[in-house]
Structure 1
């Protein structure tokens, strides 16, 4: 049996102080994390401004949305397909594709880069200006990962911090800064992005995640994303409605994930053929349908759904919430927005749909006192079902609503809904990451050989 010697404190301290380069590497990583957090803060401010401008247009001239929306979305998709194909969609699948062992380091730029981060901020904000049902939280993962990866060029050759660690830390930092949920960011890194963080660098990378989150706190204050919910003492009365919310969230979330995978991959149906042949026109058609849905709901389905969800948690006053109808139409608007191919995420819209499910069940079972708890459970259940990352889902919701008193309820709802979803659909982001990896095959495909006749002529 080998004896393990105790660490030599003085020797280790001397080594740390003499070798200055590791300290510079750590400073570079932390500076990049701060920059990533600030860029996500800027992203938040820009999307808030875009939503305010949209609201002004909606109230001043509702008919104009049927013109400006399709035109704006057509321009976004045209620019994305022509110059920035790596910016399309959520952004989480791109980070997962970059982390895949099939992606060589020189081709990380196909999926994650500083240029894509800046473009993602602008195009996602433009999508919200057009009234699409998208969020900024998923894109924040790609945005922050791009900033962190850019720091790689400044690190020393013998650093233990590799590109994989920077991508994981950047993606998690994006979640932490976007939702102000540092613990959720760490769990997202472990559960969704990576299961093998380098032990020697994990402490530094977790510090980077927290620092990025602190950038948001320094600007917006130590806030909870959806405020603080007031939940009465939970007893057996919540079991039946809570189980119904969980099962509905799992079924709807699994269906949403399956639908999104199928529509993104393309099938043999007429609409997929139209999307392949005329992507710009198809995107404009999706935007027109989203505008019609928004008009039919009095504007409730436009945007990320943040204001609507917060209003439900605070008692439902001042909302355009129509039981059942809102959930169905928000589901459709979010799917159509994603199908259009614009840069934009589904985190916030998913939370809005889940909140609608919880609110509807509370109304159906005439349990208004339990509404805040059921809404939070619906948010966790639907998000867990869509992402099939239940631990991340319940931690994020718990931090967003300061729902520490509901830890066990949120955990049970997330785990059960994720299990139900797995019977319906593959994991969403994993499937979309596989579609992203197909771009590698196109880029690495050999040049077609010249025709024999043309070759002999040239000779």
Structure 2
């Protein structure tokens, strides 16, 4: 009996150490992705501002089409499955793994490498894309690979391991371990097996801690300067409905190619994917030029300025250009997420309308409300959206208002569009023969 217990204990510890080692590798991979993405964006803005005195900034009009065409060609040729956000792939892989079907075409080390490298190439062209969703696919790919290193293939269900990997990627990318756990339950898998919950939750947390150890315990968009948030009810209602409507339309537009593949534009995209990406690059450059460069990249810099209070307002066109640029970026087929751009749309929406709607005195907290509201409307994961924003900006004093605006936005959005990631995941599932 003692021998049996000793073997069982050794088996459990080998399982834990394997998973924790994989989680640490996932955290390091996400940190590397962050560094490369920041370098790509910094390089783009340096090149785009080389000749600021010229009336027509030509650099983005060259970089964006070339980067888009190269990214789509590389993805289709060497890294199929790496296109888009990455979260739909993780959801689809989780479902397939639960049925015992292969998932190597959705999560693998090859795809993880492509997601990082090609995703950074797209950012080098100024596309409005984020790295947070792709980080979920990167981390899930690493933990999926780790499954073959476990002492027994049945130690952890492959579907649960993929779920934990996707959540670990979110936790490490946003520096929000709690949000990673909530995201695993609310969006990725909507379930966890009781016998493995402790190990998987510790895996998610460890990935986030590794990222913190390397990057430091920072707040993703800085620390919010809020002394008092008065008149909370009216702004929450107004911006909950506004963000819900705009986010629902945004989500419905993202699903347009999947829902209506016979539309002439999507037929041409299917026949000429590389050329289509080049055209999207031109549109991204044009929108960026018209909007004074506010729609280029992930939106991290502009959002940080608004959240920190260094700027209390944004021009009226800031949310419009970011909205359009993110849609076009997604349609192009490059590897890139919509988390950070959605937060940027929300921040710009709040900062550009708070004075018009008579809420200028609460400009900074309203920026945060719109970030949570718009993200909740797009993803229809309201608890995750509220917690992500709360943890990212150190806005714990706003937790109730963030939850309220996210729930209202989600309720409105759900009347306009189905769940975005769940619907996109259907596109990666085997289709029944017609």
Q: TM-score over 0.5 for the alignment?
A: yes
| Contact 2:74/2:118 (<8 A) preserved | no
Q: Which residue of structure 2 aligns with residue 231 of structure 1?
A: 226
| Contact 2:15/2:155 (<8 A) preserved | no
Q: Which residue of structure 1 aligns with residue 143 of structure 2?
A: 148
| Contact 2:87/2:133 (<8 A) preserved | yes
| Contact 2:98/2:159 (<8 A) preserved | no
1:118 deviation in Å?
A: 1.0
Q: Which residue of structure 2 aligns with residue 63 of structure 1?
A: 58
Q: Which residue of structure 2 aligns with residue 364 of structure 1?
A: 356
Q: Which residue of structure 2 aligns with residue 5 of structure 1?
A: none
Q: Which residue of structure 2 aligns with residue 395 of structure 1?
A: 387
Q: Secondary structure at the match of 1:71?
A: helix
Q: Which residue of structure 1 aligns with residue 171 of structure 2?
A: 176
1:114 deviation in Å?
A: 1.3
1:268 deviation in Å?
A: 3.6
What's the C-alpha RMSD, in Å, of the aligned pairs?
2.1
Q: Which residue of structure 2 aligns with residue 36 of structure 1?
A: 26
Confirm or deny that 1:336 pairs with 2:328. yes
2:116 aligned residue (105, 118, 121): 121
What do the CA deviations read for 1:23-54 (whole angstroms, capped 9, x no partner)? 11110000000000000000000000001100
Q: TM-score, normalised by structure 1?
A: 0.89
1:101 deviation in Å?
A: 4.3
What do the CA deviations read for 1:305-338 (whole angstroms, capped 9, x no partner)? 011011111235398x312x11111100000000
Question: 1-side partners of 2:340 and 2:69: how far apart?
Answer: 23
Q: Secondary structure at the match of 1:295?
A: helix
Question: 1-side partners of 2:260 and 2:310: how far apart?
Answer: 38
What do the CA deviations read for 1:131-178 (whole angstroms, capped 9, x no partner)? 000000000000000000100111122643121111011000000000
Question: 2-side partners of 1:178 and 1:89: how far apart?
Answer: 17
Confirm or deny that 1:257 pairs with 2:247. no
Confirm or deny that 1:26 pairs with 2:16. yes
1:272 deviation in Å?
A: 1.7
2:305 aligned residue (311, 323, 331): 311
| Contact 1:249/1:378 (<8 A) preserved | yes
Q: TM-score, normalised by structure 2?
A: 0.94
Question: 2-side partners of 1:170 and 1:436: how far apart?
Answer: 18
Q: Which residue of structure 2 aligns with residue 423 of structure 1?
A: 415
1:284 aligned residue (278, 283, 287): 278
Q: Which residue of structure 1 aligns with residue 344 of structure 2?
A: 352
Unpaired runs of 5+ in structure 1?
A: 1-10, 446-459
Number of aligned pairs? 429
| Contact 1:354/1:383 (<8 A) preserved | yes
Question: 2-side partners of 1:166 and 1:13: how far apart?
Answer: 29
| Contact 1:22/1:159 (<8 A) preserved | no
Question: 1-side partners of 2:98 and 2:153: how far apart?
Answer: 22
Pick which of 356-365 and 49-58 moved more. 356-365
| Contact 2:163/2:184 (<8 A) preserved | yes
Confirm or deny that 1:108 pairs with 2:100. no
Pick which of 100-109 and 170-179 moved more. 100-109
Q: Secondary structure at the match of 2:49?
A: helix
What do the CA deviations read for 1:284-307 (whole angstroms, capped 9, x no partner)? 101100001111112110000011
The structure number with the bigger radius of gyration is 1
1:12 deviation in Å?
A: 9.5
Q: Which residue of structure 2 aligns with residue 243 of structure 1?
A: 237
Do the aligned partners of residues 13 and 177 (structure 1) sit closer, same or farther apart at CA in structure 2, a change above 3 Å counting? farther
1:105 deviation in Å?
A: 4.3
